Homo-oligomer: A and B are copies of this chain.
Amino acid sequence: MNIEMIHAAARRLEGHARVTPLLNAPLLDRIAGRRVLVKAECLQWTGSFKYRGAWAAVSALRAAKGVIAYSSGNHAQGVALAARQHGLPAVIVMPKDAPAVKIANTRAYGAEVVLYDRTQQDRDVIGEGLAAARGLVLVRPYDEPEVIAGQGSVGLEILQQFQGDAEVLACCGGGGLSSGIALACEGRMRTRTVEPAGFDDMARSLAAGERLRNAALAGSVCDAILTPCPGEITFPILQRLAGPGLVVSDDQALQAMVLAFQHLRIVLEPGGAVALAAALFDESLGDTVIAVASGGNVDPAVFAGAMARFG
Binding site for B on A (CB under 8 A): 18, 20-21, 23, 26-27, 30, 40, 42-43, 47, 81, 105, 108-109, 261-262, 264-268, 295, 297-298, 300, 303-304, 307-308, 311
Contacts and interface: CB of A to CB of B under 8 A. Distances in A.
A307 B261 CA distance: 14
B311 A300 contact: yes
Contacts of A18: 21
Give how many copies assemble into the complex: 2
Contacts of A261: 267, 298
Nearest 4 A-B pairs (CB), nearest first? A265-B267, A265-B295, A42-B265, A300-B311
A233 to B, nearest CB: 29
Contact of A267 (B105, B108, B109, B266): B266
A108 B26 contact: yes
Contacts of A307: 300, 303-304
Contact of A47 (B42, B265, B311): B265
Contact of A21 (B21, B105, B300): B21
A38 to B, nearest CB: 11
Given A42-B265, A265-B42, A265-B47, A108 B21 contact: no
Contact of A108 (B27, B109, B295, B297): B27
A152 to B, nearest CB: 21
A298 B311 CA distance: 11
A242 to B, nearest CB: 27
A40 B42 CA distance: 13
